[in-house]
Amino acid sequence: IPVDLPTLAGYDLVVLSDIDARSFTDDQLEALRSFVRDLGGGLLMAGVRDAFGLGGYAYTPVEEVLPATFDLRRRRDRASLAMVIGIDKSGSMTMPVAPGVIKLDLANEGAARSALLLSPMDRIAVEHVDTAVTWTIPMTAVSDPESIAARIRPAQPGGGGIYVDVALEAGYEALRAETTQLKHLLLFSDGSDSEEMTRARVLVRQALADGITTSIVSMGAGPDSPELEVLAGLGGGR
């Protein structure tokens, strides 16, 4: 899809058919907003898992010009959720991914945006992990998501590599103590340096049996990414 607005101006309609927001650069998302808002171009979004809120369009320029909002905080008919977000803060997460941006910055931002989607009926905890767990945010109600997001973003790297088993154990222990209808663990882990996963499959399976699902974001495609994908599958997540 064109990045520049003059090229987009040659079209009457852009159709986003089951394609998620991660498929676009920031400049492309901005150009789509200007195409609709400033030039009056047409925009049609269709799809299920890779469109709308599930497709990651919440808080993007494209959401601003669609006739829908993906703010789950307004929903009164959904189940309550307790979520633990685990974030790899090991030394490998200092790898630059853009000028002035490291892997940890991306993981922190992803976690912050996840928190912004939660409602006051939900609960959240955030752990930053290398060889040990640091609870950046102990389990708390999401009464002020902006404040929670602001506490996540500044977290700094530690050392060593992430011990995935340790991250999972701590997160599941916190979730088992909760009484919400849904329980979920979201882990951001370096695809090139995820260590200590000898018990991870057992831990994930047991958590699922206890009603806790697990999703994993591999930070970069590396040698550990396939195992992280297996764990997410075993955990009933994404």
Per residue of the chain (238 residues), give pLDDT as tens.
Answer: 888 889 999 999 999 999 999 899 999 999 999 999 999 999 999 998 899 988 889 889 999 999 888 766 666 556 899 999 999 999 999 999 999 999 999 999 999 999 998 988 899 999 999 999 999 999 999 999 999 999 999 999 998 889 999 999 999 999 999 999 999 999 999 999 999 999 999 999 999 999 999 999 999 999 999 999 999 999 999 9
Amino acid at 177: A
pTM of the model: 0.78
CB atoms within 10 A of CB 190: 26
